[in-house]
Amino acid sequence: MSSAAVASTPHAPLTFVFDPPVDAALRDGLIALWADVTDAGGAVGFVPPADPEKIRPDLVQHFVAMAEGRTRLLVGYDAEGTVAATAYLTRNTHRLMTHWIWLYTVMVHPKHQGKGYGRDLMAAAADAARTMPGVEAIRLTCRGGTGADVFYAACGYREVGRVPGAIRVAPGDDRDDVIMLLPLT
């Protein structure tokens, strides 16, 4: 996989890199971002307080999928060169579903929210997906009750399914699993 920069929009000074080289600085930046997003209440697979050592195995799973060629990483760096946003684009392994990909672990650092970085990240993810041969659509899921579905809809995604109460955040706090789709053609 080759590394390629994707330009960001003028209002948000992020630099997006698709398939950046994985090194200790990137690994540590991704874990720090994931922990900060979790602690701010982000629906990214964990609940506060974040424990970086519990996040690390999930990150390693992403790295393994990247090494196997099943997943590609999009990273947004802020003006200081810090990891500020991420998304993982994952191919389907089912032979009848290779024409669409999953978008996982979509994150923007809390200190950068409200600056348009989220929209820039989603646009960069769609642009990156368009470079992947045979990909016609992106699917993602999000936790209901967070407003993420409204954000993704504003980025062009449409809700195509919902599983009521599928995500148990805590005892007595069940959320819907919302399935969204962005056609690329």
Long-range pairs for 57-60 at CB < 8 Å and ≥24 separation? 58/34, 59/27, 59/30, 59/31, 59/34
Least confident of 11-20, 127-136, 138-147, 171-180: 11-20
- CB-based burial label for 66 (10 Å; 0-12, 13-18, 19+): middle
- pTM of model > 0.85: yes
Please write the tens of the pLDDT for every residue from 11-37: 547 999 999 999 999 999 999 999 999
- Residue ranges per domain, the chain? 4-135
| pLDDT value of residue 12 | 47
Decide the pairing of beta strands 137-143 and 100-108: parallel
| In the predicted structure, residue 8 carries a pLDDT above the cut 70 | no
6: pLDDT strictly greater than 90 = no
**What's the CATH code, domain 4-135?**
3.40.630.30
Percent of the chain predicted with pLDDT > 70:
94
Q: What angle do CA 37, 59, 134 make, to 5 degrees?
A: 100
